[in-house]
Structure 1
Amino acid sequence: MESTENKVIISCAVTGSVHTPSMSPYLPLTPDEIATQAVDAAQAGAAILHLHARNPLDGSPTADPAVFDQFVPRIRAATDAVINITTGGSTRMTLEDRLAYPLKAQPEMCSLNMGSMNFSIHPAARKIHDWRHAWERPYIEGMEDLIFRNTFRDIKHILKVLGEDCGTRFEFECYDVGHLYNLAHFVDEGLIKGPLFIQAIFGILGGLGPDPENLYVMRSTADRLFGRKGYRFSVLGAGRHQMPLLTMGAVMGGHVRVGLEDSLYLGKGELATSCAEQVRKIRRILQELSLPVASPAEARAMLGLKGSDKVAF
């Protein structure tokens, strides 16, 4: 395998639990739609596929393992991409709910939010006047009075039952500088060993804003805490900030994450018709910057993953 030193890992977050069906007709909701968009994104160049599940009847978020089982094995059979299962779920799910499928599937990778926080897009409800399903409006407006919970004990539990017991590694989702220090705490405690994969997230109400200066702050803070060679740094820009921040992150030596979970748009006023469209766009940008894209096998080597033959699906 050739050197991966300058190669960029493209992650794709296919559907998430924040956006609702009324926001875009292209948001994948059913197991068939999620599987199709995930496979297409992998074929377009995504090495990692980050997956949530939706109720096939109305598109609402679900943690039901039976729904995950309708698309995760299909994706694995159709692509070599790393399958990354959420442990974040949604703000309305318990920790037990959020871990139900990851513990069953024992994937190579899971997301892990590095702290409790306000997490909301409730202002988006003002822009929507025609809701497809009755659950959507109260779901979005209700975020104003909810938090996403991941206490130190919650994180410690996830690291034990998934990391230590199942060999799963993590996409450490850091929405603020304090989350990097939380991560450093667990490293110092010996509960996390490298290589670390840090997903720095910008533009979510409740977390760091999408200012370019904040990207530098997160990168430089991670350098101080972990050493430049002690971690891999990836960038997630929410909404309209997706491509500009990802481009900046790539120039700074980072990896990138796209997908309809993070942004419904391809450009200003233009809805993305698929996750693959966003993957192809960021790949073109990377190519213009002379930055080669990592394959799934290269991503596995860079992140120290256990391999797709050691999962339980």
Structure 2
Amino acid sequence: MNRDVIITCAVTGAGNTVGKSPYVPYTPKAIADDAIAAARAGAAVVHIHVRDPETGDPSRAVSLYRETVSRIRDSGVDVVLNLTAGMGGDLVIDADDPLKPVDGTDLVNALERLPHVEELLPDICTLDCGSLNFGEGNQLYVSTPDMLRTGAKRVQELGVKPELEIFDTGQLWFASTMVAEGLIDAPPLFQLCMGIPYGAPADPGVLAAMVNLLPAGANFASFAIGRDQLPWVAQSMLQGGHVRVGLEDNLYLARGVKATNEQLTERAVQIVQDLGASVATPDRAREILGLRERAGV
């Protein structure tokens, strides 16, 4: 069991959740405010996506990342910044003409997924470590080995810690291959993402198997979506990992009770402490994860 637990709050994500809860933030100010509130509640790390402030749709606009990150950094609240670099991997095909992309496609190369990381130099950015049938219908997430090696090399050059997002066992195999190839600096950081259709199911046995496959010396966190999110805090801790909560993955505090990011973080803190563990501070998280210091950032 992990007794020194880093809590990440994933504050908004890119899913179709705006309108499903009044608490899902989608403007730069709202996203930053939620990140700051989560940090004050005990999150050592905040995981940031941005959205179009008019529509709430997911966005890759560097200007939106710039405003959001500036608001968090200017707040004076200490928190580790984790920016997604997974946007730009969406492919939706026409079932009758599979070579024809349709509405919803946002597919760019590896380096075009990184301009906000290049400019803002967060502590951490994500690398989604493989392609996946994403839910029902004809949507795929595309992240090929060549794309991932290109992205990992550039992130390494920038001195940003990649969080290796793992949605299934084959992705874990490939991410471990990148570690062995020297594309990921020690200690590697894995995020085991459970319950996303159709990746690894949110099953404790599957989690245990994935943990057993991690390379030596790796740090890992794990989360599950929906109603499994809060119980999974305990599951991940018991397997020796860190934890993630937030409105990216779950909208509810209890059955029928819509949550805020602050409330989900507070509940995670309670679970960690009830199990006899300590909640890591941002400085402690930096130490555990081996984050680099960057002057002027």
TM-score for the superposition, normalised by structure 1 = 0.85
Identity %: 37
Measured in 2, the distance between the counterparts of 1:6 and 1:77 equals: 31
Shift of 1:310: 5.3
Shift of 1:289: 0.6
- Structure 1 segment 8-27 matched on structure 2, within 5 A: 8-27=5-24
Query: Which deviates further from its counterpart, 38-47 or 16-25?
Result: 16-25
Measured in 2, the distance between the counterparts of 1:217 and 1:284 equals: 27
Match of 1:112 in 2: 127
- Structure 1 segment 88-237 matched on structure 2, within 5 A: 88-89=86-87, 91=90, 92-95=106-109, 96-120=111-135, 144-163=137-156, 165-222=157-214, 226-227=215-216, 230-237=217-224
Measured in 2, the distance between the counterparts of 1:213 and 1:172 equals: 21
Shift of 1:307: 3.0
User: Which has more strand, going by share of residues?
Assistant: 2
Task: Give the CA RMSD over aligned residues.
Answer: 1.5
Listed one character per residue, the Cα deviations across residues 80-125 of structure 1 (whole Å, up to 9, x for unaligned) are 11111101125224235422211221221101111111123x5xxx
Measured in 2, the distance between the counterparts of 1:167 and 1:207 equals: 30
Measured in 2, the distance between the counterparts of 1:20 and 1:172 equals: 24
User: Which has more helix, going by share of residues?
Assistant: 1
Shift of 1:215: 1.3
Listed one character per residue, the Cα deviations across residues 171-230 of structure 1 (whole Å, up to 9, x for unaligned) are 1111111111101111221212311111111110020111121111111222xxx12xx1
Match of 2:95 in 1: none
Measured in 2, the distance between the counterparts of 1:277 and 1:190 equals: 39
Gaps of 5+ in 2: 91-105
SS of 1:200 mapped into structure 2: strand
- Structure 1 segment 269-308 matched on structure 2, within 5 A: 269-272=256-259, 274-307=260-293
Listed one character per residue, the Cα deviations across residues 51-101 of structure 1 (whole Å, up to 9, x for unaligned) are 011101010111001111121111012221111110112522423542221
Listed one character per residue, the Cα deviations across residues 15-42 of structure 1 (whole Å, up to 9, x for unaligned) are 1101331211110011111011000000
Contact 1:76 1:83 in 2 (8 A): no
TM-score for the superposition, normalised by structure 2 = 0.89
Match of 1:141 in 2: none
After superposition, the Cα gap between the structure-2 partners of 1:232 and 1:32, relative to the gap in structure 1 and judged at 3 Å, is same
Measured in 2, the distance between the counterparts of 1:76 and 1:309 equals: 14
Shift of 1:262: 1.0
Letter in 1 for 2:208: Y
Query: Which deviates further from its counterpart, 249-258 or 35-44?
Result: 249-258
Measured in 2, the distance between the counterparts of 1:305 and 1:108 equals: 7
Contact 1:174 1:199 in 2 (8 A): yes
Shift of 1:154: 0.8
Give the one of 59, 65, 70 matched to 1:68: 65
